[in-house]
Amino acid sequence: MNQPTQDEEFVQFVRARQGQLLRAARLYCGDPHIAEDLLQDAFVKLASRWESVRDGSPDAYVRRILYRDSVSRWRKWGRETPYAAREGERDLLDSRVTSGVDEWVDGADVRAALADLPPRQRAVIVLRYFEDQSEAQIADVLGIAAGTVKSQASKALTALRRSMPALIDAGMAEGGL
């Protein structure tokens, strides 16, 4: 029986990767609840194509779905205000994260700055500086040329420097990736 083996492989993959991918999804969309929806949909799609993806790069497949679906959601709903509970406020929608609310609030500025970027620039920043992907890997995930990755990164860093000058110096913004 193949199915139990595939099932186990899939479960192992999800267990190993769900943490990092969910955190990346939060940076894509700025909202922990939408991020969970995005990642759940991505894993469902992965499961539906597990036979053809398992021997390749399921990680890259999920990243690609996450990016595309986050862009689709962005197109559908426009720029969403990144979610952030007020300091000291209990997150009534998700009691599981109460211990991390203050830390989540602390990161609101960064998520807001990311939310101001066009989706592809945001994805380049997340993939490069959060997921440590190479230019070639980013190009593969986003379906663009390596040169475009560089130009998008440069534009993104310039924009981030405007919103977070303390975080990104001029040299980094000019130097790109």
Partner 1 sequence: MGKDELRNALDHAAGHGPEVDFTGTWGAGRRMRRRRQLAQGVGGLALAAGLVGAFALGGGDLLSRDSVGPATPTVPDDVVATAVETDADDTAVTSAPPTTSDEETSEATAPTATDDPTTDDPTGTAAPAPTTSEPTTEPPTADPTGPASPTSAEPTRGPGGDLIVLPNPCDEPTTGLTVMGAPDATPATMERAQELLDLASTCDLDGLIALATDQSTTLSFGNTSPEDAFAGERGRERVHALASLLVNYPPELGGGSDGPVLSARWPELSEEQWPELIELGIATQQDLDSWESYGGYIGWRIYIEDDGLWSGMLAGD
- Quick one: angle between helices 2-29 and 32-48, nearest 10? 150
The verdict on 143 binding partner 1 (CB under 8 A) reads yes
Smaller CB separation from partner 1, 88 or 156: 156
CA-based nearest residue to 28, from 115, 149, 148, 116: 115
Q: Please pick, from the candidates 43, 58, 133, 137, the single residue that binds partner 1 as defined by CB under 8 A.
A: 43
The answer to whether the beta carbons of residues 20 and 131 sit under 8 Å apart is yes
CB of 16 to partner 1, least distance (A): 11
Three-state DSSP class for residue 164: coil
CA-based nearest residue to 65, from 21, 31, 32: 21
The verdict on 141 binding partner 1 (CB under 8 A) reads no
List phi, psi (to 5°) of 64: -60, -45
Q: Please pick, from the candidates 15, 55, 56, 92, the single residue that binds partner 1 as defined by CB under 8 A.
A: 15
Cα(100)–Cα(77) distance, integer angstroms? 27
Residues that bind partner 1 (CB under 8 A): 7, 10-11, 14-15, 18-20, 22-24, 26-27, 32, 36, 39-41, 43-50, 65, 68-69, 71-73, 75-78, 96-97, 100, 103-104, 106-108, 110-111, 114, 117-121, 125-126, 129-130, 143-145, 148, 152, 160, 164, 166-169, 171-172
